[in-house]
Amino acid sequence: MREKSTSILFADDTSILISHSNLFDFKNEIKTILNNLNECFKNNLFSLNFSKTQFVNFTTRKTNQIEIIIDNNNNTILTCSSTKFLGLTVDCTLSWRDHIDLVTKELSTMCYLLRNIKPYLSRSILKMIY
């Protein structure tokens, strides 16, 4: 496996993707990147919000998750099995299950609302809302 790290910036969100075949080197790479990120943020009068910072360990479905604890400046980064990325819910196996569940719930809520307001609004307003 080729070791690499990539950063993705979108609006006020920063995502760092890191791949490494060696767990020890992987942890060192994370520490280095977090230190560089904190320094960059500090120089630009920003700060890393550890309450919003998450770590997802992407694996295959057949691979067992490895417990990885990431801390930086006495703050621990929360390990999650899924996270939202650019509007998509991504889980640790890159399946669509969590995203489909979320979208299904949201669509169900919207259908319920449309059904309930139908008697009170004209057809043109309902089309606009839809």
Distances 120 to 31, 107, 109 between C-alpha atoms, Å: 58, 21, 18
* pLDDT value for 112: 94
Distance CA(112)–CA(15), nearest Å, equals 35
- Whether 57 contacts 17, CB under 8 Å: no
* Dihedrals phi, psi of 128, to nearest 5 degrees: -65, -45
Residue 121 has what DSSP assignment? S
Reading the chain (130 residues) residue by residue, the pLDDT tens digits are 556 777 777 777 778 888 888 888 888 888 888 888 888 888 988 888 888 888 888 888 887 777 788 887 788 888 888 888 888 898 888 888 999 999 999 999 999 998 999 999 998 988 888 7
The domain locations on the chain are 4-81, 96-130
* pLDDT value for 84: 86
Dihedral sign (CA 71, 77, 78, 82): negative
- Whether 84 contacts 108, CB under 8 Å: no
